[in-house]
Structure 1
Amino acid sequence: MKKILLSALLLPALQGLAQDANLSQIHNAPLLLNPAQTGDFENTWRINGGYRNTSFSGMKSFSTGYLSADVRIKGKGINANDRLGVGVFGYLDANAGGSLKSNYVGLSLAYNKALSANGATRLGLGAQAVLVTRSLDMNKLVFEDQFGSGGFGGTSVDAARGGSENHFDLNVGLQLSHDAGGRWGGAIGATAMHLTKPKETFWGADYRVPMRYQANASAWIRLKGNDRILLQGLYVTQEKTDYVQGGFIFSKSLKLSTTESSLDLGVLTRNTNVVIPYLGLGWGRSKAALTYDVTTNKSKMSGLNRQSLEIFLAHTF
């Protein structure tokens, strides 16, 4: 009973940021980070996938799984230094113990135009069309009786709605990137999501999903011995909620065989209350990473000790 009641208390807060994937490894999910990153890579195909589980005080409350695939299109009419990309992505959010589920399937398109003769600097523009299905199962929630001047008056009428809804949404993104011949590089970008401001009526009154804005930045430098340092940052704001996330990752080149490999170690943070250790391994064109969100003591004082484990896999070919 305690777990179900806690889910009910958390549910109203899910209308905002729970609309979208909030990942510790969002920079490893390019199509979810910024539509302009679609097809913006050296090889031809790229597949990314991951899973995130978040629990409050030991109770399973949130889980997210995602998968994306994009292709860099080459051919007649496309400058060798330009990058035209097409991709598809999908992810599933299960929140409040599975009472609120969201399924997203999207098509992503981007064009990164070279601004220099050697293609070192590119300006990219991307757009996404997304089909969203959300369902609210009231049978998995229990709402306590309200207490008024006449005593207990039954459950809140706000808890009377449930069901499922479908809507269509649009996202757009812009990004400026630079690669100094493999020695160093970086990118800055911005994304606007929910351009259609779709309606949801789970609680009996029309609720329009507020637009979400993201600003992303990254920079890297190659060191002696093919080691690398990567810096990354993200700012997200949606209605009255916002957060800042970022950190650094050190990639140590491992000369275990003729196949290029690396061990990635880093630390990320979210606002001032979450520290995120990062462990990754690269092998040829494959990559894997693991993160675990560590909540600070200040956040634990609220009685909700949030714990999040996230895994990531990728391959390019």
Structure 2
Amino acid sequence: MSGMTGTAKYFLLALVIALVGYLPAYGQDHMYSQFFNSPVYLNPALNGQFKGDLRMNLIYRNQYTSVPGGLSYLSASIDYNVPEFGGGLGLLFTRSNEGYAYLNKNNIAGIYSYSVGSEDYVLSFGLQAGITNRSVDFSKLVFGDQIDPRLGYIPGSVTGADKPDFNNRFYFDSGVGINLTLKNFNIGGAAQHINKPNESFTGTPSTLPMRGTVHASFRYNLTKDDNLDDDDKSYIIPSVVFYKQAQAQSLSAGMQYKRRSINAGIWYRSGGQGSAIVFSLIFDLFINKEGGEKLRFGVSHDVPAGGLNYSNTSGTTEGSIGYETTLPSRSNGDRKFFGSSRCYDFY
């Protein structure tokens, strides 16, 4: 590659990324740095786990911003808190777009969660089931017979390579999750693609590997005056999130400083989509504090810590927005496990 121009190098890098995403055997789910701002994607057991009655979350990830081809991911969810069983009903939509070949994945899933517990602990379970559509534009792929040794890619050239039989596929997908909140400690786990769906574009089966997630957080109160409301206290919240899918795995560890409506964090992530240092900043805007109406804005940025160079990728940026509200017909007395610590207290 020493004789290539800068443009050619960027093109081949984008092509490699596209092909890696295209090969089913090496499929890997995306991960969000702001995992706490996409709780339903992190773990279906976190569905319905919030102070209000209705919650909506949207998060967008633009990975390796300056690399041609584009790697973008979006998740949108809406969940409804059902006090009778301390869980909820929810809907999750996820979309990914990877590379020049426009490898797209769209998934829509329904979620049901249920909780048991007392004032001392809350144990939640979640079930997720949905449909995924996977598609690719093969006309955007570049093969060896379309590349001239001197001139590089020849626009308009036609490849002699055989194309797969299909350019899109639908399949059923499912997941489960569990979460335990015990005083100032929260731990949970989830398994996605437990039915290991076949996502191949050819006649040869290629199953999507199951993805396992484990997450844990501890909340340490920095405020000496315990008579303050929880919203006025300051906390340090160290957390760890571990993902594993087939041979790919990633560990993210760090901590947040939470003070009233501001939440700032720093993380280190290894493996998976590349090692990185992550900075996050979250703002909560209470539109109607008495009525439990809240608007949350979040932004984070990943700086590569090894392998890829920041000057070539410009890192990865995420933005998120969340809205939470209560229903006038409900009161705190309707809620199960009222007064106990819940998972949302950590985020």
**TM-score of Structure 1 vs Structure 2, range by shorter chain:** 0.7 to 0.9
Q: 1:246 to 1:18 in 2, by over 3 A?
A: farther
Q: Which residue of 2 aligns with 1:226?
A: 233
Change beyond 3 A, Cα 1:302–1:58: closer
Instruction: Report the CA distance between 1:16 and its aligned residue.
Output: 6.5
Once the two structures are TM-superposed, the CA of residue 134 in structure 1 deviates from its matched residue by: 0.7
- The answer to whether the 8 Å contact 1:54/1:60 transfers is no
Q: Letter of the aligned partner of 1:271 in structure 2? A: S
Instruction: Report how far residue 210 of structure 1 moved.
Output: 1.0
1:53 paired to 2:62: yes
Offset, 1:308 = 0.8
- The answer as to whether partners of 1:173 and 1:192 remain within 8 angstroms in 2 is yes
Change (3 A) 1:247 1:158: farther
Q: Residue 98 of structure 2 aligns with which residue?
A: 95
Residue 266 (str. 1) matches residue 275 (str. 2): no
- TM-score, normalising length: structure 1: 0.82
Q: Which structure would you say has the larger RCO, counting Cα contacts within 8 Å and 6 or more residues apart?
A: 2
Query: Is 1:131 aligned to 2:140, yes or no?
Result: no
Q: Secondary structure at the match of 1:271?
A: strand
Distance apart, 1:200 and its partner CA = 2.0
Matching of residue 315 in structure 1 with residue 323 in structure 2: yes
CA contact (8 A) 2:27 2:208 kept: no
Aligned pairs for 1:93-242 (under 5 A) are: 93-97=96-100, 99-114=102-117, 116=118, 118=119, 120-145=120-145, 157=161, 160=164, 163-179=167-183, 185-202=184-201, 205-224=204-223, 226-242=233-249
Between the two proteins, the alignment pairs up a number of residues equal to 288
In the alignment, structure 1 segments of 5+ residues that lack a partner are 148-153, 180-184, 254-261
Is the strand fraction higher in 1 or 2? Answer: 1
**For residue 26 of structure 1, what is the aligned residue in structure 2?**
35
1:70/1:87 contact within 8 Å kept: yes
Q: Indicate how the Cα distance of structure 1 residues 143 and 303 shifts in structure 2: closer, same or farther if over 3 A, else same.
A: farther
Aligned mates of 1:303, 1:209 — CA distance in 2: 33
Aligned partners of 2:107 and 2:131 also within 8 Å: yes
* Secondary structure in structure 1 of the residue aligned to 2:196: coil
Could you tell me how far 1:11 is from its partner in structure 2?
Answer: 3.0
Structure 1: how far apart are the matches of 2:44 and 2:73?
19
In structure 2, distance between residues paired with 1:30 and 1:156: 46
Q: CA RMSD for the aligned pairs?
A: 2.6
1:306 offset after TM fit, Å? Answer: 6.1
What do the CA deviations read for 1:273-293 (whole angstroms, capped 9, x no partner)? 300111111122221110011
Identity of aligned residues (%): 26
Structure 2 letter corresponding to 1:52 = R
Q: Give the alignment's TM-score, normalised by structure 2.
A: 0.75
Distance change in 2, residues 1:202/1:56 (3 Å):
farther
Determine helix, strand or coil for the equivalent of 1:13: helix
1:25-68 Cα distance to aligned partner (Å, 9 max, x none): 12211111111111112221111111110126542421011110
Q: Structure 2: how far apart are the matches of 1:144 and 1:240? A: 28
Query: 3-state DSSP class of the match of 1:199?
Result: coil
**Amino acid across the alignment from 1:299:** G
Partner of 1:27, secondary structure, is: helix
Distance across 1 between alignment mates of 2:313 and 2:13: 13
**Structure 1 contact 50–66 (Cα < 8 Å) conserved:** yes
